[in-house]
Structure 1
Amino acid sequence: MSLHSFKPADVPPTERARYLANLERATQGSGRLMLMAGDQKVEHLNDDFVGAGVAEEDGTPEHLFRIAAQARIGVFATQLGLISSYGPDFPDIPYLVKLNAKTNLVPTTSADPYSHQWHDVEQVVRLRETSGLNIAGVGYTIYPGSLYEGNMFAEAARIISEAHQHGLLAVIWAYPRGQHVADEYDPHLIAGVAGIVACLGADFVKINAPTGGPTALREAVRAAGRTRVVCAGGGETSAEDFLRRLHAQINEAGVAGSATGRNIHQRPLDEAVRLCNAISAIDFDNASIDDALRIYRGA
Structure 2
Amino acid sequence: MSITPEVKAILDLYESDNPGTKANLARILNHGRLGGTGKLIILPVDQGLEHGPARSFYPNPAGYDPQYHYKLAIDGGFSAFAAPLGMLETGAATFAGQIPTILKMNSSNSWSSVNDQAVTSCVGDALRLGCSAVGFTIYPGSDIIFEQIEEFRHIAAEAKRCGLATVIWAYPRGGRLTKRGETALDVSAYAVHIAAQIGGHIIKVKLPTSHIEQPEAIPAYSGKDWAPLANRVSHIMESAFAGRRMVVFSGGEAKTPDELFKEAEAIRDGGGFGSIMGRNVFQRSREEALELVDKIVEIYKKKD
Distance 1:215 1:175, change over 3 A: same
Q: By how many angstroms is 1:149 displaced?
A: 0.4
In 2, are the aligned partners of 1:42 and 1:102 still within 8 Å (CA)? yes
SS at match of 1:87: coil
In structure 2, which of residues 12, 35, 39 is the aligned counterpart of residue 32 of structure 1? 39
What amino acid sits opposite 1:75 in the alignment? A
SS at match of 1:237: coil
In structure 2, which of residues 87, 90, 93 is the aligned counterpart of residue 85 of structure 1? 90
* Residues in 2 aligned to 1:15 and 1:181: alpha-carbon distance in whole angstroms: 35
In structure 1, which of residues 186, 199, 204 is the aligned counterpart of residue 202 of structure 2? 204
Name the counterpart of 2:10. 5
Distance 1:244 1:218, change over 3 A: same
Q: By how many angstroms is 1:168 displaced?
A: 2.2
Name the counterpart of 1:170. 166
Distance 1:125 1:168, change over 3 A: same
Q: What are structure 1's unaligned runs of at least 5 residues?
A: 129-134, 289-299
* Residues in 2 aligned to 1:190 and 1:34: alpha-carbon distance in whole angstroms: 20
What amino acid sits opposite 1:172 in the alignment? I
* Residues in 1 aligned to 2:302 and 2:160: alpha-carbon distance in whole angstroms: 28
- Match status 1:242 vs 2:257: no
Name the counterpart of 2:214. none
- Match status 1:152 vs 2:143: no
In structure 2, which of residues 228, 233, 236 is the aligned counterpart of residue 220 of structure 1? 236
In structure 1, which of residues 121, 134, 150 is the aligned counterpart of residue 123 of structure 2? 121
Equivalent residues in 2 for 1:32-111, closer than 5 Å: 32-46=39-53, 47-50=55-58, 54-91=59-96, 92-107=98-113, 111=114
What amino acid sits opposite 1:30 in the alignment? T
SS at match of 1:138: strand
Q: By how many angstroms is 1:160 displaced?
A: 2.8
SS at match of 1:280: helix
* Residues in 2 aligned to 1:269 and 1:14: alpha-carbon distance in whole angstroms: 34
Distance 1:19 1:208, change over 3 A: closer
Distance 1:186 1:160, change over 3 A: same
* Residues in 2 aligned to 1:140 and 1:245: alpha-carbon distance in whole angstroms: 24
Distance 1:145 1:16, change over 3 A: closer
* Residues in 1 aligned to 2:26 and 2:77: alpha-carbon distance in whole angstroms: 19
* Residues in 2 aligned to 1:143 and 1:275: alpha-carbon distance in whole angstroms: 30
Percent identity between matched residues is: 27
Q: By how many angstroms is 1:209 displaced?
A: 0.8
* Residues in 1 aligned to 2:100 and 2:192: alpha-carbon distance in whole angstroms: 25
In 2, are the aligned partners of 1:22 and 1:137 still within 8 Å (CA)? no
Corresponding pairs, count: 273
Moved more, 216-225 or 196-205: 216-225
* Residues in 2 aligned to 1:82 and 1:16: alpha-carbon distance in whole angstroms: 26
Q: By how many angstroms is 1:172 displaced?
A: 0.5
* Residues in 2 aligned to 1:266 and 1:68: alpha-carbon distance in whole angstroms: 13
CA-based RMSD: 2.0
Q: By how many angstroms is 1:142 displaced?
A: 0.3
In 1, are the aligned partners of 2:250 and 2:277 still within 8 Å (CA)? yes
Q: By how many angstroms is 1:258 displaced?
A: 0.6
What amino acid sits opposite 2:50 in the alignment? E
Distance 1:68 1:16, change over 3 A: closer
In structure 1, which of residues 258, 268, 271 is the aligned counterpart of residue 275 of structure 2? 258
Q: By how many angstroms is 1:190 displaced?
A: 0.7
Q: By how many angstroms is 1:204 displaced?
A: 1.3
Distance 1:10 1:68, change over 3 A: same
In 2, are the aligned partners of 1:22 and 1:168 still within 8 Å (CA)? no
